[in-house]
Structure 1
């Protein structure tokens, strides 16, 4: 039987990641996009965000069955210690602990980099996602009311937040993820997080 593995994403994973993501665009309100991005656009996002922040995949044997990544929360300087996270899991692999494992790895890696805050936007209603994020330590921080229009309806976007460290003193510059990517500590974080996935 194949094993589940967490590792850092490579550009070669992009087609499989995009195929996993596309149904979230076309069939759900989880994504605010109307059409799935092209492969070149998706790779461009990986390159742009990956200059500073981690992209992770979960594989089952050779198959990509989930991925998660962080992106900037805002572009201006004062927001540089905050980021947003997104997790996507293949439908046939829900309820295996993959999303939780990806999040736990991201939490530890982002804390290592020096980030303070993670934000996530959840299109309402989505009670399952809200409960999951609460279980992962997120708290409700606000909502953008009637801010998203998809599938013929205006929708609220609920924002939830998780603090990675105490907000004390002056923050130090964050460390770009590529500077840590090959370190044994990152390998340990991914290995330990992956151990909680249920086969």
Structure 2
């Protein structure tokens, strides 16, 4: 599907994207605290992650790429919905994230990816989306707030990277009205 950006297309991620997606993610591994992975990945090590995000279902991988001829379909970023936790009772909750190529930040690509991701999840049996944001990260907080996420708590000094501890703020978004009554 083409976005409102004539030069940007959003589609499901494929194995053909693996090298570019790995390179993009490794930037964040090496240079930032946005992810708490500390060792860069090879495409082979990243392949199970890619395969865990099929084209349909609640666990998606959407890729935004520049479709201009001179860009040779360069990846601008990606968004995922992944299992929140491995236990069965969590199956209607997902953890979402967006990663952008550093030169694509501030161009609305994150917004576009989340629009498409939440459109895709609308037909799925997903009740809540969660996002963990390593602090500080004002652009990510603004993006998630724009999409209706609300801050539900912060884990203090939960991760250590680059020789110091970092906090992670957790955000929650309701995706569907409650289908099963809550136990009081």
> TM-score, length-normalised on structure 1?
0.80
* Map of 1:197 onto structure 2: none
Contact 1:116 1:164 in 2 (8 A): yes
Contact 2:110 2:143 in 1 (8 A): no
User: Which has a greater percent of helix?
Assistant: 1
* Map of 1:29 onto structure 2: 33
Higher relative contact order (CA 8 A, sep 6+): 1
Find the partner of 1:54 among 42, 57, 60: 60
Is 1:151 the counterpart of 2:155 in the alignment?
no
- Cα offsets for 1:140-175 (capped at 9, x unmatched): 0112221100111111111001111111336xxxxx
Alpha-carbon deviation of 1:32?
0.5
* Map of 1:163 onto structure 2: 174
Q: Counterparts of 1:125 and 1:19 in 2: how far apart (Å)?
A: 23
Find the partner of 1:111 among 114, 117, 122: 122
Contact 1:49 1:72 in 2 (8 A): no
Q: Counterparts of 2:44 and 2:93 in 1: how far apart (Å)?
A: 27
Q: How many residues are aligned here? A: 169
> TM-score, length-normalised on structure 2?
0.86
